[in-house]
Amino acid sequence: MARKESKKARKASATKEESPQRFNTLVVNGDKYRTLYTEKFKNRKKWVKPDQRKIYSDIPGTVLKLFVKEGQKVKEGDVMMILETMKMKNKIIFPIDGTVKKIYVSEEERIPKGHLMIELK
Amino acid sequence: MSLKRKILELQKKREKVLQGGGEKAIEKQVAMGKMTARERIITLLDENSFHEYDLFVEHEARDFDMDKKILHGDGVIIGTGTIYGAPICIYAQDFTVAGGSLGLMHARKITKIMDHAMKMRVPIIGINDSGGARIQEGVNSLAGYGEIFYRNTTASGVIPQISVILGPCAGGAVYSPALTDFVFVVDKISKMFITGPEVIKTVLGEEISMEDLGGARVHSEITGNAHFYSESEIECFDQIKKLITFIPWNNKQKARSFDVKEPLVDKYKIDDIVPGNPKEPYDVRDVIRGITDGSDFFEIQEMWARNIVIGFGRVHGDTIGFVCNQPLVLAGVLDVDSSDKAARFIRYCDAFQIPIVTLVDLPGYLPGVDQEHAGVIRHGAKILYAYSEATVPKITVILRKAYGGGYIAMNSRHLNADFVFAWPGAEIAVMGPEGAANIIFRKEIMGAKDPDKMRKQKVKEYKEKFANPYVAAAKGYVDSVIEPEETRKLLLHAIEVSKNKVDRKPIKKHGIPPF
């Protein structure tokens, strides 16, 4: 990880001593610039069109109870699970009608934010 | 009792309290690679200049057997002293006393020295090294934090406020540094976070070390919460001392003037630094050093949002705030972080009567879904707001390209810059030649037998016509097209003639910047 480089190494990397091949290309309005990338820029997430049938966690927490099974038909507003976060028991509800295609989590499982929990058909 | 005996008694009392948390606690502090609170103050301030107050303050907590506990100085040292002769108010939390935890009297001592700094109109330095709120004191400790935050906010823009993180600074405690002007961190010693690793682990199941969560490097490179990074406490104190030489004691005074030194022109040949091709990178700090006294440049937030460079330098002995696009990193674009970084610094300079010099070389704002969704509109607006609002002398030098919204944002004439100079290689245009030609001559290019050839020809035409400073100069948007070598001379002149600048804005309670 570049973050773990010593400060001196990092300073050197930002001066002219830099070997030319470390430079990258940045395109702004059709013009191509030779420049260095930052870590943040390198790690930026590519945008993907949200798919409503794939349900991700909005908050991290522990799955306390699951109310649905694979193959089950569900309606918008039905309770999917209880997700406990910061000592709060949150009811997670289905955003659309559909049939449960796959469940990616199990009870007692601790999941991070943005975790794929359930996929609908 | 004779006075002599009373003096002896005082000396004994003092001696006892000066031990802080006692030998064992001090040993622990040293084992963590840290200096004690008193050592820190003495090392930072001029020799023999520190005078301590409230040495004999005692806490009043009665619950949880606290009444049986003696906490010397209640875990914080306050006092006054000088740095290079400049008067300073200072407090340092003493981790050896109950982990530097903040109780009511501890907070009262801090707010007392803050009030003193405000009355005397001198800078306040806070050294943070505390386990957090003193749980036994309950809501009183929360009250203490709140009273500190309130004072930080009131003092903002009146006296310089400096925070030094030399230990843990967690939970609510982090908001005092966040409200102050400059935050100093030291590798492996500083730790700042709202929620610690333990809570994160129990609640969220994510395992992370204190260092990776909120260490010095994290705040210097990722979050931008810290302004100065160093590898030891001594290096950190040297940075603070240097900062103090650049800034005034308060908003009614000017920063101290120093002897004039010429830049090291052999090392920083200003004619040779910037490549002619606007797509080639260079380090803008070399240009700054080609301008400033003794080629000295004191960079702020050097590891965060490196596509913009901010910091202090002197021209003819006086402090100048520099805001410069950095073509070396991300081609010097403006984005969420760099706008944030520049805007805050511009407001700092404006509050403390420090003229701003802006060196421009940027292709515009950074394109991308991540930027748009991160709110580049409102963050980018901060820089426009800060420049437009500032009434200190504002001088712009366009070194090379200045395209589109980026041109406007970087202290253009249109945001009421006082002087706008441009080097002969400057390109002031809506966008780069390729992008512009592709749009303007789209039909010609598409309809041509050899579109690539036509495109090249049209790009060339556009470059010749518009990629120069003279179109803007013809409208008076650029005051003067200058040779790079003349830059220092003209900056000096511009600052000289701006000394009595008056720029009255309409009276209002305050504006509503896009925070």
Kindly report, residue by residue over B377-423, the tens digit of the pLDDT: 999 999 999 999 999 999 999 999 999 999 999 999 999 999 999 99
Q: Does an H or E element contain B83, and which? A: strand B76-83
Cα distances (Å, whole numbers) of residue B472 to B103, B460, B484: 60, 19, 18
- In this structure, the answer to whether residues A27 and A63 fall within a common structural domain is no
Which band of pLDDT confidence, cut at 50, 70 and 90, is reported for residue A113?
Answer: confident
Q: Do A62 and B205 touch (CB under 8 A)?
A: yes
In a domain, residue B265? The reply is no
In a domain, residue A62? The reply is yes
Q: Do A14 and B329 touch (CB under 8 A)?
A: yes
Q: What is the mean pLDDT of residues B68-92?
A: 94
Q: Do B435 and A30 touch (CB under 8 A)?
A: yes
**ipTM at complex level:** 0.83
- In this structure, the answer to whether residues A36 and A68 fall within a common structural domain is no
Any B CB within 8 A of A7 CB: yes
In a domain, residue B507? The reply is no
In a domain, residue B11? The reply is yes
In residues, how long is chain B? 515
* DSSP codes, B121-140: T--EEEEE----B-GGGTHH
In a domain, residue B192? The reply is yes
Tell me: pLDDT of B468 over 90.
Answer: yes
From chain A, pick out residues whose CB is under 8 angstroms from the CB of B459: none
From chain B, pick out residues whose CB is under 8 angstroms from the CB of A105: none
- In this structure, the answer to whether residues B133 and B150 fall within a common structural domain is yes
- In this structure, the answer to whether residues A31 and A64 fall within a common structural domain is no
Q: What angle do CA B124, B130, B131 make, to 5 degrees?
A: 155
Q: Do B330 and A7 touch (CB under 8 A)?
A: no
Q: Does an H or E element contain B444, and which? A: helix B442-447
Name the average pLDDT for chain B. Answer: 95
- In this structure, the answer to whether residues B177 and B277 fall within a common structural domain is no
Which residues contact residue A33 at a Cβ distance below 8 angstroms, ignoring those fewer than 6 apart? A25, A26, A27, B279, B281, B327, B331, B363
Minimal CA separation from A40 to chain B, in Å: 8
Q: Do A38 and B330 touch (CB under 8 A)?
A: yes
Q: Does an H or E element contain B291, and which? A: none
Q: In this complex, which of A39, A44, A111 lies closest to B368 when CB atoms are compared?
A: A44
Q: In this complex, which of B206, B306, B364 lies closest to A38 when CB atoms are compared?
A: B306
> What does the buried/exposed string (b/e) look like for B168-182 if buried means 16 or more CB atoms within 10 Å of the residue's CB?
bbbbbbbbbbebbbb
In a domain, residue A49? The reply is no
Residue of B nearest to A113 (CA): B204
| B346: nearest Cα among B380, B323, B315 | B323
- In this structure, the answer to whether residues A37 and A58 fall within a common structural domain is no
CATH number reported for the structural domain that contains residue A111 in this entry:
2.40.50.100
Report the number of distinct structural domains present in chain B: 3
Q: What is the pLDDT of residues B477-502, one digit of tens each?
A: 999 999 999 999 999 999 999 999 99
In a domain, residue B256? The reply is no
In a domain, residue B412? The reply is yes
d(CA B480, CA A3): 43
Q: In this complex, which of A3, A28, A44 lies closest to B331 when CB atoms are compared?
A: A28
Q: What is the mean pLDDT of residues B155-161?
A: 98
The pLDDT, as a whole number, for residue A15 is 47
- In this structure, the answer to whether residues A90 and A62 fall within a common structural domain is yes
Any B CB within 8 A of A9 CB: no
Contact in structure between B346 and B386 (CB atoms under 8 Å): yes
Q: Do B281 and A33 touch (CB under 8 A)?
A: yes
Q: What is the pLDDT of residues B449-466, one digit of tens each?
A: 998 899 999 999 998 888
From chain B, pick out residues whose CB is under 8 angstroms from the CB of A13: none
- In this structure, the answer to whether residues B222 and B326 fall within a common structural domain is no
The pLDDT, as a whole number, for residue B376 is 95
Report the number of distinct structural domains present in chain A: 2
Minimal CA separation from A13 to chain B, in Å: 11
Which residues contact residue B51 at a Cβ distance below 8 angstroms, ignoring those fewer than 6 apart? B79, B80, B81
- In this structure, the answer to whether residues B233 and B323 fall within a common structural domain is no
Any B CB within 8 A of A76 CB: no
- In this structure, the answer to whether residues B48 and B163 fall within a common structural domain is yes
Residue of A nearest to B327 (CA): A35
Any B CB within 8 A of A45 CB: yes
Q: Looking up tokens 């030291």, which residue turns up?
A: B186
Which band of pLDDT confidence, cut at 50, 70 and 90, is reported for residue B171?
Answer: confident
- In this structure, the answer to whether residues B275 and B406 fall within a common structural domain is yes
The pLDDT, as a whole number, for residue B64 is 87
d(CA B265, CA B291): 9
Minimal CA separation from A41 to chain B, in Å: 8
- In this structure, the answer to whether residues A65 and A113 fall within a common structural domain is yes
Contact in structure between B211 and B191 (CB atoms under 8 Å): yes
- In this structure, the answer to whether residues B165 and B305 fall within a common structural domain is no
Q: In this complex, which of B279, B281, B432 lies closest to A29 when CB atoms are compared?
A: B432
Q: What is the mean pLDDT of residues B16-22?
A: 89
- In this structure, the answer to whether residues A37 and A74 fall within a common structural domain is no
Q: Which amino acid is at A8?
A: K
d(CA B125, CA B91): 7
d(CA B432, CA B429): 7
Contact in structure between B478 and B413 (CB atoms under 8 Å): yes
Q: Do B330 and A36 touch (CB under 8 A)?
A: yes
In a domain, residue A93? The reply is yes
Residues of B with CB under 8 A from a CB of A: 187, 203-206, 217, 221-222, 229, 231, 279-283, 303, 305-307, 327-333, 337, 363-364, 366-370, 373, 403-404, 431-435, 438
Tell me: pLDDT of A61 over 90.
Answer: no
Tell me: pLDDT of A7 over 70.
Answer: no
Nearest-10 crossing angle of helices B139-155, B104-120: 10
Tell me: pLDDT of B51 over 50.
Answer: yes
The pLDDT, as a whole number, for residue A19 is 52
The pLDDT, as a whole number, for residue A112 is 86
CATH number reported for the structural domain that contains residue B240 in this entry:
3.90.226.10
Q: In this complex, which of A29, A40, A112 lies closest to B204 when CB atoms are compared?
A: A112
Minimal CA separation from B43 to chain A, in Å: 24
Any B CB within 8 A of A23 CB: yes
In a domain, residue B514? The reply is no
d(CA A88, CA A67): 18
- In this structure, the answer to whether residues A116 and A81 fall within a common structural domain is yes
The pLDDT, as a whole number, for residue B62 is 84
Any B CB within 8 A of A88 CB: no
Q: Do B281 and A32 touch (CB under 8 A)?
A: no
Any B CB within 8 A of A10 CB: yes
Instruction: Please state, for a pLDDT cut of 70, what percent of chain B lies above it.
Output: 100
Minimal CA separation from A53 to chain B, in Å: 22
d(CA B122, CA B250): 6
Q: Do A33 and B279 touch (CB under 8 A)?
A: yes
| B488: nearest Cα among B269, B339, B283, B253 | B269
Phi, psi of B15 (to 5 degrees): -55, -45
**Count of A-B CB contacts under 8 Å:** 103
Query: What is the DSSP secondary structure assignment for residue B271, as one 8-state letter?
Result: H
Tell me: pLDDT of A10 over 60.
Answer: no
- In this structure, the answer to whether residues B460 and B478 fall within a common structural domain is no
Q: State which residues form the domain around A103.
A: 54-120
- In this structure, the answer to whether residues A69 and A110 fall within a common structural domain is yes
- In this structure, the answer to whether residues A107 and A83 fall within a common structural domain is yes
Tell me: pLDDT of A13 over 80.
Answer: no
From chain B, pick out residues whose CB is under 8 angstroms from the CB of A28: 331, 333, 363-364, 366-367, 403, 432, 435
Which residues contact residue B84 at a Cβ distance below 8 angstroms, ignoring those fewer than 6 apart? B46, B241, B244, B245
Tell me: pLDDT of B57 over 80.
Answer: yes
- In this structure, the answer to whether residues B86 and B155 fall within a common structural domain is yes
Domain boundary among B178, B213, B246: B246
- In this structure, the answer to whether residues B198 and B79 fall within a common structural domain is yes
Any B CB within 8 A of A36 CB: yes
The pLDDT, as a whole number, for residue B9 is 94
Residue of A nearest to B187 (CA): A7
- In this structure, the answer to whether residues B85 and B10 fall within a common structural domain is yes
In a domain, residue A47? The reply is no
- In this structure, the answer to whether residues A10 and A33 fall within a common structural domain is yes
Any B CB within 8 A of A98 CB: no
- In this structure, the answer to whether residues B406 and B417 fall within a common structural domain is yes
Any B CB within 8 A of A59 CB: no
Any B CB within 8 A of A57 CB: no
Instruction: Please state, for a pLDDT cut of 70, what percent of chain A lies above it.
Output: 83
Q: State which residues form the domain around B101.
A: 3-246
d(CA B167, CA B48): 25
Cα-atom radius of gyration of chain B, to the nearest Å?
26
